[in-house]
Structure 1
Amino acid sequence: MTRCRLCGSEATASVVDLGATPPCESFLAADQLDQPEPAYPLHLRVCTDCWLAQIPPLITPEETFKEYAYFSSYSTSWVEHARTFVADAVQRVGLGTEGSDAFVVEVASNDGYLLKHVVDRGIRCLGIEPSVNVGAAARDKGVPTLTEFLSPQTGAAVREEHGPANLVVANNVYAHIPDVVGFTQGLRALVADDGWVSIEVQHLLTLIEENQYDTIYHEHFQYYTVASAIQALASGGLTLVDVELLPTHGGSIRLWARPAEVAGEPTQRVADVLAREKAAGLQELSGYTEFSARVAKVRRDLLKFLIEAAERGETVVGYGAPGKGNTLLNHCGIRPDLLAYTVDRNPYKHGRFTPGTRIPILAPEQIAVDKPDYVLILPWNLRAELVEQLSYVHEWGGRLVFPIPELSIVEAASRKVTA
Structure 2
Amino acid sequence: MECRFCNEKLIHCMVDLGMSPLANGYLDAKSLEKKESFYPLRVFVCHKCLLVQLSENVEEPKKIFSEYLYFSSFSKTWLKHTEEFANKAIEKFRLDENNQIIEIASNDGYLLRHFKNKNIPILGIEPASNISKIAEERGIKTINKFFGIKTANELKMGGYGADLLVAINVMPHVPDIQDFVEGIKIILNKNGICMIQFSTYMLPFIHDTEFDSIYHEHFSYFSLLSIQKILNNFKLIIFDVEELSIHGGSLRIYVKHEENTKIKNEERVNELIEKEVNAGLTVISNYENFSQQVNDTKIKIWNFFSSAIKNNKKIVGYGAPAKGNTMLNFCGIGKELLEYTVDISPHKQGLFLPGTHIPIKKPEIIKQTKPDYVIILSWNFRDEIVEQMNYIREWGGKFVVLHPKIEIF
- TM-score, with structure 2 as normaliser: 0.97
**How much has 1:265 moved relative to structure 2?**
5.5
Q: Does the aligned pair in 2 maintain the 1:67–1:132 contact within 8 Å?
A: yes
One of 166, 186, 204 as aligned partner of 1:189: 186
Q: Does the aligned pair in 2 maintain the 1:184–1:235 contact within 8 Å?
A: no
Greater shift in the superposed pair: 24-33 or 234-243: 234-243
Amino acid at match of 2:155: V
Q: Does the aligned pair in 2 maintain the 1:243–1:270 contact within 8 Å?
A: yes
**Following the alignment from structure 2 to structure 1, what is the Cα–Cα distance between the partners of residues 148 and 315?**
45
Amino acid at match of 2:227: A
- Residue 129 of structure 2 corresponds to 132
Q: Does the aligned pair in 2 maintain the 1:185–1:237 contact within 8 Å?
A: no
Amino acid at match of 1:128: I
Please say if 1:103 is aligned against 2:105: no
Q: Does the aligned pair in 2 maintain the 1:105–1:165 contact within 8 Å?
A: yes
**Following the alignment from structure 1 to structure 2, what is the Cα–Cα distance between the partners of residues 379 and 200?**
19
- Residue 218 of structure 1 corresponds to 216
- Residue 414 of structure 1 corresponds to none
**Following the alignment from structure 2 to structure 1, what is the Cα–Cα distance between the partners of residues 11 and 161?**
38
- Residue 112 of structure 2 corresponds to 115
**How much has 1:172 moved relative to structure 2?**
0.1
**Following the alignment from structure 1 to structure 2, what is the Cα–Cα distance between the partners of residues 160 and 194?**
19
**How much has 1:266 moved relative to structure 2?**
2.8
Alignment partner of 2:288: what SS? coil
**Where do 1:225-374 residues align within 5 Å?**
225-262=223-260, 266-374=265-373
**Following the alignment from structure 1 to structure 2, what is the Cα–Cα distance between the partners of residues 161 and 86?**
25
**Following the alignment from structure 1 to structure 2, what is the Cα–Cα distance between the partners of residues 159 and 92?**
26
Q: Does the aligned pair in 2 maintain the 1:72–1:110 contact within 8 Å?
A: yes
RMSD (Å), alpha carbons: 1.2
Alignment partner of 1:33: what SS? helix
Q: Does the aligned pair in 1 maintain the 2:242–2:251 contact within 8 Å?
A: yes
Amino acid at match of 2:57: P
**Following the alignment from structure 1 to structure 2, what is the Cα–Cα distance between the partners of residues 133 and 225?**
32
**How much has 1:5 moved relative to structure 2?**
0.8
Please say if 1:153 is aligned against 2:142: no
**Following the alignment from structure 2 to structure 1, what is the Cα–Cα distance between the partners of residues 152 and 218?**
22
- Residue 92 of structure 2 corresponds to 92
Alignment partner of 1:261: what SS? coil
**Following the alignment from structure 1 to structure 2, what is the Cα–Cα distance between the partners of residues 265 and 45?**
35
**How much has 1:366 moved relative to structure 2?**
1.0
- TM-score, with structure 1 as normaliser: 0.95
Amino acid at match of 1:198: M
- Residue 180 of structure 1 corresponds to 177
**How much has 1:290 moved relative to structure 2?**
2.5
**How much has 1:63 moved relative to structure 2?**
1.2
**Following the alignment from structure 1 to structure 2, what is the Cα–Cα distance between the partners of residues 307 and 131?**
40
**Following the alignment from structure 2 to structure 1, what is the Cα–Cα distance between the partners of residues 8 and 264?**
28
**Following the alignment from structure 1 to structure 2, what is the Cα–Cα distance between the partners of residues 327 and 255?**
27
Alignment partner of 1:348: what SS? coil
Alignment partner of 1:275: what SS? helix
**How much has 1:249 moved relative to structure 2?**
1.2
Runs of 4+ in structure 1 over 2 Å off: 234-237, 263-266
Greater shift in the superposed pair: 121-130 or 234-243: 234-243
Distance verdict in 2 for CA 1:313–1:11, change over 3 Å = closer
Identity %: 40
Distance verdict in 2 for CA 1:360–1:11, change over 3 Å = closer
- Residue 34 of structure 2 corresponds to 35
**How much has 1:11 moved relative to structure 2?**
4.5
Alignment partner of 1:288: what SS? helix
Amino acid at match of 2:194: V
Q: Does the aligned pair in 2 maintain the 1:159–1:165 contact within 8 Å?
A: no
Q: Once the two structures are superposed, what CA deviation does each residue of 1:109-164 show, in whole Å capped at 9, x if it has no partner?
A: 01111111111111110000000111111112111110000011201211222421
**How much has 1:193 moved relative to structure 2?**
0.9
Amino acid at match of 1:88: K
- Residue 165 of structure 2 corresponds to 168
**Following the alignment from structure 1 to structure 2, what is the Cα–Cα distance between the partners of residues 193 and 57?**
34
Q: Does the aligned pair in 2 maintain the 1:280–1:287 contact within 8 Å?
A: no
**Following the alignment from structure 1 to structure 2, what is the Cα–Cα distance between the partners of residues 272 and 396?**
49
Unaligned runs of 5+ in 1: 411-419
**Following the alignment from structure 2 to structure 1, what is the Cα–Cα distance between the partners of residues 65 and 204?**
26
Please say if 1:69 is aligned against 2:66: no
Q: Once the two structures are superposed, what CA deviation does each residue of 1:332-362 show, in whole Å capped at 9, x if it has no partner?
A: 1111110000000110111110000100000
**Following the alignment from structure 1 to structure 2, what is the Cα–Cα distance between the partners of residues 358 and 262?**
52
- Residue 382 of structure 2 corresponds to 383
Q: Does the aligned pair in 2 maintain the 1:4–1:12 contact within 8 Å?
A: no
Distance verdict in 2 for CA 1:268–1:166, change over 3 Å = same
**How much has 1:23 moved relative to structure 2?**
0.6
Q: Does the aligned pair in 1 maintain the 2:10–2:44 contact within 8 Å?
A: no
Amino acid at match of 1:124: P
**Following the alignment from structure 1 to structure 2, what is the Cα–Cα distance between the partners of residues 376 and 15?**
27
Q: Once the two structures are superposed, what CA deviation does each residue of 1:80-125 show, in whole Å capped at 9, x if it has no partner?
A: 11100000111122211xxx52110000001111111111111110
